[in-house]
Amino acid sequence: MELAVYNIDGSKTTKTVDLNENVFGVTPSDHAIYLDVKHHLAARRQGTHKTKERGEVKGSTKKMRRQKGTGAARVGDIKSPILRGGGVIFGPKPRDYRFKINKKVKKLARRSALSYKAKEGKLIVLEDFSMEEPRTKKYLEILANLDLEGKKTLLLLPGNDRIIELSSRNIPRAFVGKASQLNTYMIMHVDNLLVVESSIKEIENIC
């Protein structure tokens, strides 16, 4: 698959890049994408939810009234789950929501997500660039030149670039990440994927 390379002014360069068909041109698997995104979101959950059962609620253990002869239902102590302020029956407990999926499924999911972006024309290859100082206005200009202003975008860099990260930080729908840390959720979470030319090899290596 051959794509044109753009510069940050929004114009096409004379260069093209040949993308690996085994990464950017596979038949997408929706189920693999679903599993990998679910796996990612599950791992992000804190799982610290907790309610108190009747044995953990503070209160007297004295029987509230006699069991028979009142005409009402029998009641135990004040910590009974049927009373207001009592314990909670089968409430949530701290737990780990993570689950295992195979590495091959994760790779297929990444390839499927990248293939969707490539087929939909939402994958843009950019010429390598750098910024001298953090400038949000400059990064907004780059997005405007590419006709992506206001859209949710992810720029993939070959390594850490603090200046570009700081320039995009105050833009609500603009994200910057390392190509080596790319996952399916990052791809599917945005509308357009901006890939710096030198980060393509990194992407192909992890896929």
Integer Cα distance of 121 and 6 in angstroms = 14
Q: Please report, for the chain, the start and end positions of each structural domain, with discontinuous segments joined by +.
A: 2-46+102-206, 52-91
The per-residue DSSP string of 31-65 comes to: HHHHHHHHHHHHHH---------TTTS-S--S-SS
Mean pLDDT to the nearest integer, 28-50: 96
For domain 2-46+102-206, is the CATH number 1.20.1630.10?
A: no
172's CB contacts (< 8 A; 6+ apart) are none
**Position 207 confidence tier, pLDDT thresholds 50, 70, 90:** confident
Mean pLDDT to the nearest integer, 7-23: 91
Query: pLDDT tens for residues 112-138?
Result: 999 999 999 999 999 999 999 999 999
Query: pLDDT tens for residues 142-183?
Result: 999 999 998 999 999 998 899 999 999 999 999 999 999 999
- pLDDT score at 80: 92
